[in-house]
Amino acid sequence: MSRHSFDPEIAGRVGLNAAVIFQNITFWIEKNQANRRNLRDGRYWTYNSISAFSELFPYLSEKQIRTALEKLVSAELIIKGNFSDDRYDRTCWYALGNSICPNGKIDPTERENDAFAPEGKPSAPEGKSFKNRYKPYQKPSPSHAKVAVEDEISEKILSAYPEDRARGKAVCISQIRQALADGVDAKGLEDAVRAYATESEGFTRSKVCFSDNWFTSGRWLKYLQDVEDAREAGKAKEAELLKGLSDWVKDKHPLCRHITPGQVTALLAANLASPAEIEAAGFRA
């Protein structure tokens, strides 16, 4: 009879189901590292399909397994990949995330006894939850307030996606966080999502893209570029408008009466008119 173990600290972060699956993943990654197998992109990987996980954990449904894996990805405890030679093989590969192993490898000096202790070493007592054989990487973390703000921003961006095509929330949030961490403007990304939602409104089901695929495949980049292009065009148009208003002010044109206080402020900020010219045209500088 097999025994399944988990790390209480991990369970506290992502739940018991995810912690048990995480223990299994780390066990096989460590074996692969010891045997120098499945080294890709500087990390050691293991792979399994959802159906294979279902056989390993018969007390979990496939939906529970998918949810647990999404939680692990979102918490940056694992990362996903696909290194199959067969392009039709969708089996997912898993490696430890940066929150556990910043260099992608387990440090063997950090081991603790657990259910998978090396041969000849004591295992954890039966009937208890087990400590993992490594300590999670203690990188400096942002304040809880900052994390809460980042989560709120990510949720707001995701909420702009058409509700009937929303899927894999944890994966989407993880992708959004990564984009923001890479320097993508939050408002720009939100506008990109809204642009896609508007464009795809009324699409048949065969043409729609579910949110997890949309974010992970990078389809948002096109819409983000469109948003940025529109912004630049808007800035150019605004600059042209201000230049025209500046000419009115300097010529004391009768149409100056249509210039708003906000436009006066913009003219001064852009150095397109001096305070004296503004006052001469009948405004307060």
Buried (b) or exposed (e) across 65-79, using 16+ Cβ within 10 A? bbbbbbbbbbbbbbb
Give per-residue pLDDT as tens, 54-103.
Answer: 999 999 999 999 999 999 999 889 998 888 777 677 788 999 987 666 55
pLDDT over 60 (residue 284): yes
22, 77 Cβ separation under 8 angstroms? yes
9 is written with which tokens? 């600290």
pLDDT over 90 (residue 18): yes
pLDDT-derived band at 132 (thresholds 50, 70, 90) equals very low
- What's phi and psi for 96, nearest 5 deg? -70, 140
Model pLDDT, residue 283: 80
d(CA 102, CA 96): 9
Give per-residue pLDDT as tens, 188-240.
Answer: 999 999 999 998 887 766 667 889 889 988 889 999 999 888 888 888 888 88
User: How far from chain centre, in Å, is Cα 281?
Assistant: 52
The mean pLDDT value of the chain amounts to 80
pLDDT over 70 (residue 4): yes
Residue 58 is classified by DSSP as T
Strands (E), the chain: 39-40, 43-44, 46-48, 78-81, 92-96
Model pLDDT, residue 146: 59
Which DSSP string corresponds to 221-255?
HHHHHHHHHHHHHHHHHHHHHHHHHHHHHHHT-GG
pLDDT over 80 (residue 176): yes
- Please tell me the number of Cα atoms within 13 Å of 75 on its side-chain side: 21
Give per-residue pLDDT as tens, 148-170.
Answer: 677 789 999 999 998 888 888 88
pLDDT over 80 (residue 49): yes
Contacts by residues 221-226 (CB-CB < 8 Å, ≥ 24 positions apart): 223/192, 223/193, 223/195, 223/196, 224/184, 224/188, 224/189, 224/192, 226/192, 226/195
Buried (b) or exposed (e) across 201-226, using 16+ Cβ within 10 A? eeeeeeeebebbebbeeeebeebbee
Average pLDDT over residues 163-185: 87
pLDDT over 60 (residue 38): yes
Count of beta carbons in the 10 Å neighbourhood of residue 91: 14
Q: What percent of the chain has pLDDT over 90?
A: 24
